[in-house]
A and B are shown apart, each in its own frame.
Chain A
Amino acid sequence: MIELQNVTKLYGKVIGVNDFTLKLGAGAYGLLGPNGSGKSTLLNLITGQLRPTLGSVRVMGESPRNNAALFRRLGYCPGSEGLYSSVSAFEWVKYLQQLQGMSTADAGVAAANALDLVGMTPSMHRSISSYSRGMRQRTKLAQAIAHDPDILILDEPFSGLDPVGRHELTRVLLDWIDLGKSLLFASHVLHEIESITQSFLLICGGRLLASGTAEDVYAMMVGLPNEVALRCNNPHALASLMLREQVVDSASIVEDTVTVATKQPARLYEQLPGWLQNSGIEVTEMHSADESLQALFNSLMKMHRGEL
């Protein structure tokens, strides 16, 4: 479905995508990466808005640049807003379907159906300027699916949606996948992707760091130092205790917080309550920094550079 061969995209001296090689068959994929990781650049390359500085991009076997035939089979919902404020959602989606090649009547039907699918029917004849962020997001999605494309590419589709809106959009996308259609969507929030698909592409610094299922990604993390921060009433005593027990590799103290790096997080979590009870140290807050997506990417970047 999508094939990138050693693709590099430079904006002057800034690297957007760095030597990216990828081959995706039909299916649903989540493109996961922190802000500024190159997700939007990658999607712009796949949708033919950008030309790779090096390498080649193929979508359904064809170059996406100025490819009218491909654009008939592609639906794209960008991350930026860019809606006309003075027209209604119906007029705007209908207009874009006419640009897709539909007649006025067919475009009207397609627009109404797509807006209905994303729950915008009651508001579709109101001016877009009066819409909330979530309503705009739904309208953006409607324009991407109205012409019934084979591949749907979404950039941060959940952005600005409330929990109900997220749930409804998740249903729409799951139904879409059930129809046997392909989906590639970018997000910087892990659980958004997990709710739609188990196939991940992890991108950071313009590089593809890892790909596979969620289990594959977690498996890669086994054996990597896990960073845990603990706020307590006696940080020096807690740090020396954990080092003495040889459960942590390093420890640092800032004010009342001890931050440790461990390759045995399970043992630490299991034994920590007993140590605290025996020593009388009171821990008021504890969190694993590695639960954050950025930490995961930092670890993968270090692996990528051979530092781990």
Chain B
Amino acid sequence: MGNVGAVFMFEWKRSLTLPRMAWWLVLAGFPIFIIGVIRFSINASMRENGLPDPTPRELWIGFLFALGPMLVTMLGTMLWVTPALSAELERRSWVYLSVRPNGGTAVLVGKYLAAVTWVIPPVLLGLAVAVPLSGASNGWQIWWTMARLVLLSTPAYAAVYLLLGTIMPRRGMVLAVGYSLLFELVISFVPAVINKLTVHHRLQALLLQWCELDIPPEFMSGAISLIGNTPPWQHVAILLLYPPVLVTASIGILRACEFSSSAESDV
């Protein structure tokens, strides 16, 4: 555990640079900017037509969900965790880490924890501003639901990207983008067994059950066919299982594979 802590602290310290801090602010500002633009457009339309706010609460919740626990969390974890191994291999610094006692494992776990703790605060901060900005009723309840989803989605997505980056370090980012687009954004909407493998499906189900959404009866059967009748605790339990299972799998792959700086070119 000590060397995991060392990697965690080292990575956090390295992240306190201007470019990384700027990226932190971008992550926090992204949902604020998008919700702000939508709010501004609606306000302008209301002023022009003299009509009341036509946006239902559920639509704001949809936007906030897509931006916070989904998009920003995925983007933040993908960009940090996927290259956890490949960055060391490309820099040729892996060799110094891998000849330490359990060095490879410490690097993977330490970087994973650093990424999770680095991504959660800007998302929560962004949502804390974006929720009141949206003007949706019961803002506190929406933020609290989103916060719980962020706390579940960030470790889960980070674990998925860590695994993808370990399976294929040289093409990890391509694999992660492909996975995100295909599985998390397309297949998660397919009402079949396969969508249960996605993090998005679990988050969506929890959102519907936690946020007391006012879904019209004609849409309710469609929503149930998509999310099923699984109780919330099962979704939470499965999301909590993602990190230990996938991080352990990543460590297993790491220990089985050879990641030497000695390529064929420099035998």
Which residues of A approach B to under 8 Å, CB–CB? Answer: 11-12, 14, 16, 36-38, 40-41, 44, 47-51, 66, 68-69, 71-72, 74, 76, 78, 80-84, 86-87, 91, 95-96, 98-101, 103-104, 107, 143, 206
Beyond the given pairs A44-B261, A49-B258, A96-B100, 14 more chain A to chain B contacts, judged by CB atoms under 8 angstroms and listed by A's residue number, are A11-B264, A11-B267, A12-B264, A37-B267, A49-B259, A50-B258, A50-B260, A71-B103, A82-B261, A84-B93, A86-B14, A95-B10, A100-B3, A100-B101
Given that A82-B93, A98-B2 are contacting pairs, would A72 and B101 also be in contact in the complex, using a CB cutoff of 8 Å? yes
User: Is B95 positioned at the interface, with any CB of A under 8 Å from its CB?
Assistant: yes
Q: Which of B92, B97, B267 has the most CB of A within 10 A?
A: B267
Cα A51 to Cα B17 in complex, Å, equals: 38
On chain B, the residues within 8 Å of A86 by CB distance are 14, 17
Chain B: residues with CB nearer than 8 A to chain A?
2-3, 6-7, 10, 13-14, 17, 91-103, 106, 255, 258-264, 266-267
| A contacts with B: majority SS | loop
The 6 closest A-B CB pairs, nearest first, are A82-B92, A98-B6, A68-B101, A99-B100, A82-B93, A80-B92
Task: Give the secondary structure class of B's interface.
Answer: helix
Of B7, B94, B99, B259, which one neighbours A82 at CB under 8 angstroms? Answer: B94
B102 cross-chain contacts in A, Cβ below 8 A: 68
Rounded to whole angstroms, the CA-CA distance of A234 and B7 in the bound complex is: 70
Residues in A whose Cβ lies below 8 Å from that of B94? 82
Q: Show 30 A/B contacts (Cβ-Cβ < 8 Å), sorted by A.
A: A11-B263, A14-B264, A16-B262, A16-B267, A36-B266, A40-B267, A41-B262, A44-B260, A44-B262, A47-B99, A49-B262, A71-B99, A71-B100, A76-B95, A76-B96, A78-B261, A81-B92, A82-B95, A82-B261, A86-B14, A86-B17, A91-B10, A95-B10, A96-B97, A96-B100, A99-B7, A99-B101, A100-B3, A101-B3, A101-B101
Within the assembled complex, what's the spacing in Å between the Cα atoms of A81 and B98? 15
Closest to A13 in B: B264
A78 CB contacts on chain B under 8 angstroms: 92, 95-96, 261
Q: Which residues of A contact B91 (CB under 8 A)?
A: 82, 84
B14 adjacent to A87 (CB under 8 Å): yes
Q: Which B residue's beta carbon lies closest to that of A77?
A: B96
Query: Contacts of B262 on A, CB cut-off 8 Å?
Result: 16, 40-41, 44, 49-50
Chain B residues with Cβ below 8 Å from A100 are: 3, 100-101
Residues on B with C-beta less than 8 A from A74 are 99
CA distance in complex: A71, B260 (Å): 16
Tell me, rounded to whole Å, the shortest Cβ–Cβ distance linking B220 to chain A.
53
From the candidates B95, B103, B255, name the one contacting A99 in the complex (CB within 8 A). B103
- Measured CA separation A41–B262 after assembly (Å): 6
Contacts known (A49-B95, A50-B260, A98-B3); A69 close to B101, Cβ less than 8 A: yes
Evaluate contact between A103 and B2: CB separation under 8 angstroms: yes
B contact residues around A104 at 8 Å (CB): 6
Bound-complex Cα distance A16 to B264 (A): 8
